[in-house]
Amino acid sequence: MNAPQQTRASALGALRHRDFAFFWSAALISNAANWMQQFTVPFLMYDMTGSNTWVGAAAFTSLIPAFGLAPVAGVLADRFDRQKVMISTMGVNTLACAAFAALWMMGELTPWRIVGLNLVIGTTLGIQASSWLALVPLLVPSSSLLSAIRLNSAQFTASRAIGPLTGAALLALVGAGAVFVANAATYALLMVVIVTMRPRRVVPPPRQRVGEFLAAGVAYVRRRSSLRQAVLTGFVMAYFGGALLHLAAGLASEDYGVGETGLAGLITAAGVGSVVGSAFIIGCGDRVERSLLARWGLALYAAAPLLAVATTSYPVGLAGYFLSGVAHVCIAISMNSAIQSQVAEEMRGRTVSLYVMGIFGGWPTGALVGGWLGDHLGLRLVFAINGIVLALYCLTVIVRWEGLRALDSTQDVADRKRRDQLGAPGSTA
């Protein structure tokens, strides 16, 4: 009895720290509202245009800035106060969501304006993402680091289960304007919580030209096989797995013949899968190796789109989306845990920025290319190809990278930091 209780206490240990607990709660609410909007915008775009290409373009513009800005965002996270970066970007997000609401209520929300506002939100997201990931470890002591990483991923995935169904209800009962207003309000709430936090302070690295500073971060990642593998796996997961979620509106309409409630069901099924996967991972603690979780995730991500398009049965589609949610959280938590636990603090922002770059490079390009191919070849064929590619990648990592076992390293960060200081040309670590 005592061992399981200790495991659970350790798994939830980060919530004993006030700043992290408030941040986690506000982030859960804000991300749920953000998923409400991410459900609503593709539905509105498809309803306005009837085009998967437009839906893919909306996803592309909301995500691609994060790809281009990720290296700069990593530099900002290591050289400036991460808390202030978060507050500034949250303020812009609040205004952008308020603009969505105002344009909708005036009847002036057009496809091009959706794309434009998504571009604004995508830009702030690109600046914010690295600081978010790099800020979390500063809210807890080192003994609760892995707990905080897993819980941070869990709140994001839990929001995927809450947001779409809530968004569908608001869309049906009140209208899209209510979704946009709710998202703006929760961004503001999260901004207030971040203002009140008192994270540990990081000693800024020595002043260095931006290009050299960024190059040191790239070199840091290139020297470590686990970090290289995490970045590439994140890109593959996002490109070939993320399209199933971002292009769900077309699949719901063209293959399953369901409306917005059915679309919300697909996205919610992925969210529920993520919650189930998160609960399993948090409950297991460190008893399951990261590499094993990642391999399970890749195998399930390969199976998910193949199952979703195996028939035109909506319940079968729900099962496919559920598997995709489990797969996503298995890969995301294993990759994020590996990166966060193996990196020196002063290199954290630049390291996670390259991982973010892989994720946000894969999501928008997968959505845009998949949407265009879907209009010409059909989404069923596109998703089937994605599933096959994911299966081949899973086999590749098993054969060539020993099943991603480099992710399991528990090498002491302090020793790694000392070696970087002695032997890394141009490094600031």
Model confidence pLDDT, tens digit, residues 30-56: 988 988 888 788 888 888 888 878 887
162 pLDDT tier (thresholds 50, 70, 90): confident
**pLDDT at res. 208:** 65
Say if residue 341's pLDDT is above 90: no
State the burial class of residue 110 (Cβ atoms within 10 Å of its Cβ: 0-12, 13-18, 19+): exposed
**Highest-pLDDT range among 11-15, 75-79, 301-305:** 301-305
Which residue type does 350 have?
R
Q: How far apart are CA 23 and CA 100, in angstroms?
A: 25
Let me know: does 251 contact 365? Beta carbons within 8 Å.
no
Q: Within 10 A of 88 (CB to CB), how many other CB atoms are there? A: 15
Q: What percent of the chain has pLDDT over 70?
A: 90
- The token duo for 69 is 């800005």
pLDDT in tens, 220-237: 888 888 889 999 999 999
Q: Within 10 A of 178 (CB to CB), how many other CB atoms are there? A: 18
Q: Which fold has domain 12-423?
A: Growth Hormone; Chain: A; (1.20.1250)
Q: Within 10 A of 399 (CB to CB), how many other CB atoms are there? A: 9
Which residue type does 330 have?
C
**pLDDT at res. 421:** 46
Strand, helix or coil for residue 131: helix
Residue bearing the bigger pLDDT, 358 or 59: 358
Report how far apart the first and last C-alpha atoms of the chain are (Å, whole number).
43
**pLDDT at res. 173:** 81
Say if residue 98's pLDDT is above 60: yes
Q: How far apart are CA 266 and CA 114, in angstroms?
A: 23
Q: How far apart are CA 255 and CA 277, in angstroms?
A: 27
Let me know: does 240 contact 390? Beta carbons within 8 Å.
yes
204 pLDDT tier (thresholds 50, 70, 90): low
> Which of these, 223, 226, 202, lies nearest to 424 by C-alpha position?
223
Check: pTM over 0.85? Answer yes or no: no
Let me know: does 388 contact 376? Beta carbons within 8 Å.
no
In a 13 Å sphere around the CA of 260, the CA atoms on its Cβ side amount to: 24
**pLDDT at res. 419:** 45
In a 13 Å sphere around the CA of 191, the CA atoms on its Cβ side amount to: 18
> Which of these, 366, 384, 376, lies nearest to 311 by C-alpha position?
384
Question: Which DSSP category does 239 fall into?
Answer: I
Q: How far apart are CA 117 and CA 149, in angstroms?
A: 30
- The token duo for 417 is 């930091």
**pLDDT at res. 10:** 65
Helix (H), strand (E) at residue 51? none
pLDDT in tens, 358-389: 887 888 788 888 888 988 888 899 999 999 99
**pLDDT at res. 411:** 57
Mean pLDDT of the chain: 83
Let me know: does 111 contact 49? Beta carbons within 8 Å.
yes
